[in-house]
Amino acid sequence: MDLARRIPIRDAKGKAIVAGFVEEIRDLKNIRFLVLRDRSGILQVTAKHGEVPEEVFSQIPSLTRESVVCVEGLIVKSPIAKLGRELIPSKIEVLSKAETPLPIEFLRPEIVKTALDKRLDYRFLDLRSPKSYAIFKIQDVLSDAAHRFFKEEGFIEIHTSKLVAQATESGANVFQVDYFGRDAYLAQSPQFYKQMMMAAGFEKVFEIAPVFRAEKHHTPRHLCEYTSIDFEMSYISGPEDIMEVLEKLVIFALGEVQRRCKSELELLKVKVEMPEAPFPKITLRKAYTILEEKGVKPPYMEDLESEHERLLASIIKEETGSDFFFLTEYAWAPDSRPFYVMRKENEPDWTYAFDLFYKGLELTTGGQREHRYEKLKEQCKLKGLEPEDFRFYLDFFRYGMPPHGGSGTGLERFTMQLLNLSNIREATLLPRDPERLIP
RNA sequence: GCCCUGGUGGUGCAGCCCGGUUAACAUCGUCGGCUGUCGCCCGACGGACGCGGGUUCAAAUCCCGCCCAGGGCGCCA
Q: Which nucleotide is nearest to A410 (CA to C1')?
A: B77
User: Average pLDDT, whole number, for chain A?
Assistant: 91
**Residue bearing the bigger pLDDT, A252 or A188:** A252
**Is A294 found in the same domain as A407?**
yes
Quick check: A293 pLDDT over 90? no
Measured CA A305 to C1' B74 distance, in angstroms: 10
**Is A165 found in the same domain as A91?**
no
For residue A110, is it within any domain?
A: no
Q: Which nucleotide is nearest to A173 (CA to C1')?
A: B75
Q: Tell me the mean pLDDT in the region A226-246.
A: 96
Give the Cα separation of A237 and A156 in Å (integer): 21
Query: Which residue's CA shows the smallest distance to C1' of B34?
Result: A28
Measured CA A53 to C1' B34 distance, in angstroms: 21
Q: Tell me the mean pLDDT in the region A245-258.
A: 97
For residue A185, is it within any domain?
A: yes
**Is A91 found in the same domain as A138?**
no
For residue A160, is it within any domain?
A: yes
Quick check: A59 pLDDT over 80? yes
Q: Which nucleotide is nearest to A358 (CA to C1')?
A: B77
Strand extents, DSSP E, A126-180: 156-157, 163-164, 176-179
**Is A287 found in the same domain as A418?**
yes
Tell me how many domains chain A contains: 2
Residue that finishes a domain, picked among A70, A96, A122: A96
User: Residue A353 in contact with residue A369, Cβ under 8 Å?
Assistant: no
For residue A437, is it within any domain?
A: no
Q: Which nucleotide is nearest to A24 (CA to C1')?
A: B38
- CA–CA distance from A370 to each of A24, A235, A238, A244, A332 (Å)? 61, 12, 11, 19, 13
Q: Tell me the mean pLDDT in the region A273-301.
A: 88
For residue A273, is it within any domain?
A: yes
**Residue bearing the bigger pLDDT, A308 or A250:** A250
Q: Which nucleotide is nearest to A31 (CA to C1')?
A: B35
Task: Classify the phi-psi angles of A177: left when phi > 0, otherwise alpha if psi is within -120 to 50, otherwise beta.
Answer: beta
**Is A303 found in the same domain as A234?**
yes
Measured CA A84 to C1' B30 distance, in angstroms: 33
Quick check: A170 pLDDT over 50? no
Q: Which nucleotide is nearest to A171 (CA to C1')?
A: B75
**Is A321 found in the same domain as A224?**
yes
**Is A134 found in the same domain as A92?**
no
What is the reported pLDDT for A218? 81
Measured CA A52 to C1' B76 distance, in angstroms: 61
Measured CA A112 to C1' B58 distance, in angstroms: 36
**Is A142 found in the same domain as A62?**
no
Quick check: A146 pLDDT over 80? yes
What is the reported pLDDT for A342? 95
Query: Which residue's CA shows the smallest distance to C1' of B72?
Result: A219
Residue that finishes a domain, picked among A96, A111, A138: A96
For residue A114, is it within any domain?
A: no
For residue A402, is it within any domain?
A: yes
- Beta-bridged to residue A210, according to DSSP, are A227
**Is A137 found in the same domain as A59?**
no
**Is A250 found in the same domain as A349?**
yes
Q: Record the pTM.
A: 0.92
% of chain A beyond a pLDDT of 90: 69
Measured CA A111 to C1' B26 distance, in angstroms: 8
Measured CA A434 to C1' B18 distance, in angstroms: 39
Measured CA A108 to C1' B14 distance, in angstroms: 21
For residue A171, is it within any domain?
A: yes
CATH of the domain at A393: 3.30.930.10
Q: Tell me the mean pLDDT in the region A407-419.
A: 95
Grade residue A177 by pLDDT with cuts at 50, 70 and 90: confident
**Is A322 found in the same domain as A224?**
yes
Measured CA A307 to C1' B76 distance, in angstroms: 14
Query: Which residue's CA shows the smallest distance to C1' of B29?
Result: A101
Q: Which nucleotide is nearest to A76 (CA to C1')?
A: B36
Question: Would the ipTM clear 0.90, i.e. be above it?
Answer: no
Query: Which residue's CA shows the smallest distance to C1' of B41?
Result: A28
Give the Cα separation of A403 and A233 in Å (integer): 9
Quick check: A233 pLDDT over 90? yes
CATH of the domain at A38: 2.40.50.140
**Is A138 found in the same domain as A55?**
no
Residue that finishes a domain, picked among A96, A115, A138: A96
Nucleotides of B under 7 A from a protein CB: 1-3, 10-13, 26-31, 33-40, 46, 68-77
The letter for the amino acid at A379 is: Q
What is the reported pLDDT for A184? 87
Quick check: A172 pLDDT over 80? no
What is the reported pLDDT for A168? 64
User: Residue A362 in contact with residue A320, Cβ under 8 Å?
Assistant: no
| DSSP symbol at A341 | B
Residue A371 lies in domain: 130-427
Measured CA A322 to C1' B57 distance, in angstroms: 68
Quick check: A136 pLDDT over 70? yes
